[in-house]
Chain A
Amino acid sequence: MENLQLIIPELFISIMIMFLLIFGVFKKNSSQLVYNLTTVSLVAALALIINLDSQIQSSLFNNSYNIDNLARFMKILLILSGIFVMLSSSKYIQISKISKIEYPILILCSILGMMVMISSNDLIVFYMGLELQSLALYVLASFNRDNLLSTESGLKYFVLSALSSGLLLYGCSLIYGFSETTNFNQIMVNTKEIEYGLTFGIVFILVGLAFKISAVPFHMWAPDVYQGSPTSVTVFFALLPKIAALTVFIRFLYIPFYELGDQWQMIIIFLSIASMVFGAVAAIGQKNLKRLIAYSSISHMGYALAGLSTGTTQGVQSSITYITIYLVMNLAFFSCLFMLKRNDEYYENIDDLSGLSKNHPLLSLSLLIVLFSLAGIPPLAGFFAKFYIFVAVINEKMYFLAIVGLLATVIAAFYYLRIIKIIYFDPEKEKFESKHNLGLKFTLVASTFFILAYFIYPSGIVDIISQININ
């Protein structure tokens, strides 16, 4: 019973999923109501998580499910992002005619899967969570089934993701074979010596995880899926799975295989450098904003991995800080994207932004702040995110990684500047609608304010994150 008390948030979400499914089927035309109820139940889940005694650090269910500071922080982050995604995209799904009862329920399923991933301390539990979130995401990606691009992106994501899941499962089986256990802590005890099979297992799992956070060279799906999916799903893709996958990355590298650091460190460094550089270079030629942000998020994941590659607690904390700030920036960016609407049609090409600043000064100003922050220019939050990463990286004397990372920042600055140029320097086009629903406006204002004002009190988040301790 005690165990169950600690997973009340997860239980609550599971119950809500079943309830909403039944409710939605029996009540006609209830899609909007189900959507709102989903948002409310996310808020309730958030309250339940915050309400849990923060002193408790325990492992449940035969040591396979962790409730610790890391899990708690990441879940709060996850559900907060979920709430904001729901708030900002409600209008979009109505207009895009994808407002069906299944949509919010799938989102809940996927969030439940991610919560399981975040807490997992066992290969089987971890895989279960992963599949739950992935299956929901396959459907979500192709949710706009009349749209060719959306169907394509769903199928593409399914095929590639299934392949990576297969690799991951194979890696799990190898590790089980060589360590005789699936429990993370137990694996650490049982694997004092390096064996080839074990190394292969690590590599397979890392490949699977790298796929989930779209690190180069396992990024191929990201641009197509980002572009093809409905924007409301793209924003979901850009934010939530990253949180879950990064947490698993942290747990996996720092609990069972911490001792084998020299086995995985080079892989992470490679993934990190490749993602930073490729993401920055490939984004330059893009014309579609969603595609561009896909490459940009590839590049950002590279920085988050750079923090992980250090093998220190400080590195992990810097990665968590990075992902937190990344979430806010992307949320703000997508909120802006949701505002580019004219006559019930959404615009997502870079050229559509031309001269935006003349007609929509406030929206352009937010975009300006968000883009400069994504580029990592001080004093905006994006700079601090990178700053913490480099502090951790340089502490480990990994100068090469730091310098490559910073040079990639300069390349990336180019395409962010290009968007700013189009917004501010180019001739104006037709006006967009200026009426938006409250949730969207609130999301944009809150996230932009966070980015802008972060420098006033940077210690706040750092202090919270510094309580997260692995090992």
Chain B
Amino acid sequence: MNFPILSSLILLPTIGALFIFFVRSSNSQYQSSKYVALFITLANFFLSLYLWIVFDKSIVDFQFVEEREWISGFVNYKVGVDGISILFILLTTFISPICVITVNATIKNRLKDFLIAILILETFMIGVFCSLDLVVFYLFFEAGLIPMFLIIGIWGGERRVYSAFKFFLYTLLGSVLMLVAIISIYWITGTTDVIKLYELGIDAKYQNLLWLAFFSSFAVKTPMWPVHTWLPDAHVEAPTAGSVLLAAILLKMAGYGFIRFSLGLFPDASLYFVPLVYTLSLIAIIYTSLVALMQEDMKKLIAYSSVAHMGFVTLGIFTMTQQGIEGSIFQMISHGLVSAALFLCVGVVYDRLHTRLINRYGGLVSIMPKYAIVFMVFTLGALGLPGTSGFIGEFLVLIGAFKKNILVATIASLGVILGAAYMLWLYKRIIFGKLINEDVKKMVDLKRFEIVTLWLLVLPIIFFGFYPEPLINSIEVSVANMIDMNDLDKINKLALGE
């Protein structure tokens, strides 16, 4: 396979962005730049779909590896995918065209710039998921801040400046320590190549500090309690497409980073810090669920629910069991779809009434029946009803957790109940109840492009809920290999005194 398929995936959106940038257009041609963006993102989606089909799921090694000298004698540009990263790439390329479609209703000014920002962001996101060198990873990881900062700041709501700054500075502060750690790894082992590092391993005496440095970055990005406060602000102020990308993909970078780097490079330290991660995850699950119950702003509620769901993800990863890690990955994919869909749903009603306050709505079921149906599917997906993809993820995570620590698993299970509580209550307050407000009565049901985008998300949520096999298949070997390679089982058993 000589065709550099991964680099094409990374570069294609940027080429599209450059194309849109250089083709000067008057106002009437705004539409055309949208079609260009849609075409590029769709092409990227099919390319990644092709990648997934050709990808050999039974091999543990990284596939489609490309390596090129970059900073001479120091860092090589190296990309490749295994069963885990390929799913995230698919998620990214699947969500991006949906974001492009939504700009129709939400972006009123500077459409061209917005599309460029989204396309550039897609480049960086795909880059994060397939880079196999720590420096390259860091580059993509940080670079994503620039377009997201602009998306929130230029097209956001009233407090956009505050939110954009908070988002940028929080994440930057978290990441700088990771840079120190990456450079330290280079001087300790002589390479930043992830595959080589997997083989070499890192001396246990350095692992704890390095783990913490990586953790500081990923914890902010995940976000874990107590550094989650940027997320509700960012979500509330970002335009719909921005919220969707943020929830669906940017947060997953951290979860992916935990699996790929924290577990992969520092197995001893990961084990050492399990209690810390458990505690923070449980607080995230319970505390932010309670906070979510009290929200009056829809986007804030969903943002807090994201924190809770990501709590399950971190919990699952650090159970270090096959089921736990698989569950976490599944949960991330599922949450990527569900939260994207929920933000789109909020966007739909926000475009009509220009408010996100829950109590301004009510009784939508009688005037927007189509909306009520899709919103219900997503609500159920978010609370993890069997038959939706949300269930599989949470279920596997809980199995993993029960294997390791019954107390933790029990508390986490309570989070599922709380999740059901706030999601159903949200649904009840918006969709059911009496139609009181005059302006709500005038709202129209879903338009065609909204139906398309939302049903595009309904399908995979239900499909993977009933038939999770394709996803599990793809990650199974890689996860098993990761557990074997780092002797996580053995380390676990030693720790338990078996």
- A421 lies within 8 A of chain B by Cβ: yes
| A399: nearest chain-B partner, CB-CB | B180
- A126 lies within 8 A of chain B by Cβ: no
Q: A379 is contacted by which of B139, B154, B183 (Cβ under 8 Å)?
A: B139
Check if A458 sits within 8 Å of B71, measured CB to CB: yes
- A295 lies within 8 A of chain B by Cβ: no
| A463: nearest chain-B partner, CB-CB | B72
Check if A390 sits within 8 Å of B72, measured CB to CB: no
Contact with A along B138-150 (1 / 0, CB 8 A): 1110110110011
- A233 lies within 8 A of chain B by Cβ: no
Of residues 396 through 429 on chain A, the ones whose CB sits less than 8 Å from some CB of chain B are: 399, 402-403, 406-407, 409-410, 413-414, 417, 420-421, 424-425
Please judge, given known A-B contacts A414-B169, A417-B165, A425-B160, whether A462 and B180 are in contact too, CB under 8 Å.
no
| A392: nearest chain-B partner, CB-CB | B183
Query: B135 — which chain A residues lie within 8 A by C-beta?
Result: 387
Query: B179 — which chain A residues lie within 8 A by C-beta?
Result: 387, 390, 406
Please judge, given known A-B contacts A378-B139, A391-B183, A462-B71, whether A409 and B176 are in contact too, CB under 8 Å.
yes
Q: A403 is contacted by which of B71, B72, B180 (Cβ under 8 Å)?
A: B180
- A395 lies within 8 A of chain B by Cβ: yes
A19 to chain B, nearest CB (A): 44
Of residues 420 through 462 on chain B, the ones whose CB sits less than 8 Å from some CB of chain A are: none
Q: A424 is contacted by which of B70, B153, B176, B183 (Cβ under 8 Å)?
A: B153
Contact with B along A451-463 (1 / 0, CB 8 A): 0000100110011
Check if B138 sits within 8 Å of A378, measured CB to CB: yes
Q: B154 is contacted by which of A391, A403, A417, A425 (Cβ under 8 Å)?
A: A425
Contact with A along B149-183 (1 / 0, CB 8 A): 11001100000110011001100110011011001
User: Measured between alpha carbons, how far is A414 from B176 in the docked complex, in Å?
Assistant: 14
Please judge, given known A-B contacts A414-B165, A425-B161, whether A390 and B139 are in contact too, CB under 8 Å.
no
- A76 lies within 8 A of chain B by Cβ: no
Please judge, given known A-B contacts A377-B145, A378-B139, A378-B142, whether A459 and B172 are in contact too, CB under 8 Å.
no
A460 to chain B, nearest CB (A): 9
Check if A403 sits within 8 Å of B153, measured CB to CB: no
- B402 lies within 8 A of chain A by Cβ: no
Q: A462 is contacted by which of B72, B139, B149, B160 (Cβ under 8 Å)?
A: B72
User: Measured between alpha carbons, how far is A390 from B177 in the docked complex, in Å?
Assistant: 12
- A278 lies within 8 A of chain B by Cβ: no
Q: B173 is contacted by which of A377, A402, A410, A421 (Cβ under 8 Å)?
A: A410
Query: A410 — which chain B residues lie within 8 A by C-beta?
Result: 169, 172-173, 176
| A403: nearest chain-B partner, CB-CB | B180
Query: A402 — which chain B residues lie within 8 A by C-beta?
Result: 180, 183
Query: B169 — which chain A residues lie within 8 A by C-beta?
Result: 410, 413-414, 417
Check if B168 sits within 8 Å of A417, measured CB to CB: yes
User: Which of B71, B139, B150, B184 has the largest count of A CB atoms less than 10 A from its CB?
Assistant: B71
Query: B113 — which chain A residues lie within 8 A by C-beta?
Result: 361
Query: B168 — which chain A residues lie within 8 A by C-beta?
Result: 413, 417
User: Measured between alpha carbons, how far is A390 from B186 in the docked complex, in Å?
Assistant: 12
Query: A458 — which chain B residues lie within 8 A by C-beta?
Result: 70-71
Query: B173 — which chain A residues lie within 8 A by C-beta?
Result: 407, 410
User: Measured between alpha carbons, how far is A462 from B75 in the docked complex, in Å?
Assistant: 12
| A358: nearest chain-B partner, CB-CB | B110
Check if A425 sits within 8 Å of B183, measured CB to CB: no
| B186: nearest chain-A partner, CB-CB | A391
- A394 lies within 8 A of chain B by Cβ: yes
Query: B153 — which chain A residues lie within 8 A by C-beta?
Result: 420-421, 424-425
- A372 lies within 8 A of chain B by Cβ: yes
User: Measured between alpha carbons, how far is A270 from B183 in the docked complex, in Å?
Assistant: 23
Q: B183 is contacted by which of A378, A390, A417, A421 (Cβ under 8 Å)?
A: A390
User: Measured between alpha carbons, how far is A458 from B168 in the docked complex, in Å?
Assistant: 26
A87 to chain B, nearest CB (A): 25
How many interface residues does chain A have, given as a range?
Answer: 20 to 34
Contact with B along A374-387 (1 / 0, CB 8 A): 00011100010001
User: Measured between alpha carbons, how far is A340 from B139 in the docked complex, in Å?
Assistant: 32
A-B CB contacts (within 8 Å), total count: 82
Query: B143 — which chain A residues lie within 8 A by C-beta?
Result: 377-379
Q: A406 is contacted by which of B70, B72, B74, B180 (Cβ under 8 Å)?
A: B180
User: Measured between alpha carbons, how far is A194 from B177 in the docked complex, in Å?
Assistant: 38
Check if A417 sits within 8 Å of B149, measured CB to CB: yes
- B69 lies within 8 A of chain A by Cβ: yes
Of residues 87 through 131 on chain A, the ones whose CB sits less than 8 Å from some CB of chain B are: none
- B3 lies within 8 A of chain A by Cβ: no
Check if B176 sits within 8 Å of A459, measured CB to CB: no
B41 to chain A, nearest CB (A): 21
Query: B146 — which chain A residues lie within 8 A by C-beta?
Result: 372, 377
User: Measured between alpha carbons, how far is A471 from B118 in the docked complex, in Å?
Assistant: 50
Query: A394 — which chain B residues lie within 8 A by C-beta?
Result: 180, 183-184, 187
User: Measured between alpha carbons, how far is A458 from B179 in the docked complex, in Å?
Assistant: 18
User: Measured between alpha carbons, how far is A455 from B187 in the docked complex, in Å?
Assistant: 22
User: Measured between alpha carbons, how far is A333 from B57 in the docked complex, in Å?
Assistant: 50
Contact with A along B102-145 (1 / 0, CB 8 A): 00000000000100000000000000000000010011101101
Of residues 432 through 471 on chain A, the ones whose CB sits less than 8 Å from some CB of chain B are: 455, 458-459, 462-463
User: Measured between alpha carbons, how far is A235 from B143 in the docked complex, in Å?
Assistant: 29
User: Measured between alpha carbons, how far is A43 from B10 in the docked complex, in Å?
Assistant: 41
Check if B139 sits within 8 Å of A424, measured CB to CB: no
Contact with A along B318-357 (1 / 0, CB 8 A): 0000000000000000000000000000000000000000
User: Measured between alpha carbons, how far is A410 from B174 in the docked complex, in Å?
Assistant: 10
Query: A399 — which chain B residues lie within 8 A by C-beta?
Result: 180, 184
A282 to chain B, nearest CB (A): 18
Query: B180 — which chain A residues lie within 8 A by C-beta?
Result: 390, 394, 399, 402-403, 406
User: Measured between alpha carbons, how far is A379 from B147 in the docked complex, in Å?
Assistant: 12
Query: B74 — which chain A residues lie within 8 A by C-beta?
Result: 391
Query: B186 — which chain A residues lie within 8 A by C-beta?
Result: 391
Query: B172 — which chain A residues lie within 8 A by C-beta?
Result: 377, 409-410, 413
Query: B164 — which chain A residues lie within 8 A by C-beta?
Result: 421, 425
Check if B145 sits within 8 Å of A421, measured CB to CB: no
User: Measured between alpha carbons, how far is A414 from B69 in the docked complex, in Å?
Assistant: 34
User: Measured between alpha carbons, how far is A378 from B184 in the docked complex, in Å?
Assistant: 19
| A422: nearest chain-B partner, CB-CB | B161
Query: B139 — which chain A residues lie within 8 A by C-beta?
Result: 378-379, 383, 455
Query: A406 — which chain B residues lie within 8 A by C-beta?
Result: 176-177, 179-180
Check if B142 sits within 8 Å of A377, measured CB to CB: yes
B459 to chain A, nearest CB (A): 36
Of residues 29 through 75 on chain B, the ones whose CB sits less than 8 Å from some CB of chain A are: 69-72, 74
Query: A377 — which chain B residues lie within 8 A by C-beta?
Result: 142-143, 145-146, 172
Please judge, given known A-B contacts A406-B179, A406-B180, A421-B161, whether A395 and B70 are in contact too, CB under 8 Å.
no
| B178: nearest chain-A partner, CB-CB | A406
Check if B165 sits within 8 Å of A459, measured CB to CB: no
User: Measured between alpha carbons, how far is A377 from B176 in the docked complex, in Å?
Assistant: 10
A251 to chain B, nearest CB (A): 26
Query: B149 — which chain A residues lie within 8 A by C-beta?
Result: 417, 420
Query: A391 — which chain B residues lie within 8 A by C-beta?
Result: 74, 183, 186
A346 to chain B, nearest CB (A): 27
Query: B160 — which chain A residues lie within 8 A by C-beta?
Result: 425
User: Measured between alpha carbons, how far is A223 from B119 in the docked complex, in Å?
Assistant: 40
Query: A378 — which chain B residues lie within 8 A by C-beta?
Result: 138-140, 142-143
Name A residues whose Cβ lies closer than 8 Å to a Cβ of B. 361, 372, 377-379, 383, 387, 390-391, 394-395, 399, 402-403, 406-407, 409-410, 413-414, 417, 420-421, 424-425, 455, 458-459, 462-463
5 A-B pairs within 8 Å (CB atoms) are namely A391-B186, A394-B184, A406-B176, A458-B70, A462-B72
4 more CB-based (< 8 A) A-B contacts, given A413-B168, A425-B160:
A378-B139, A410-B173, A414-B165, A424-B150
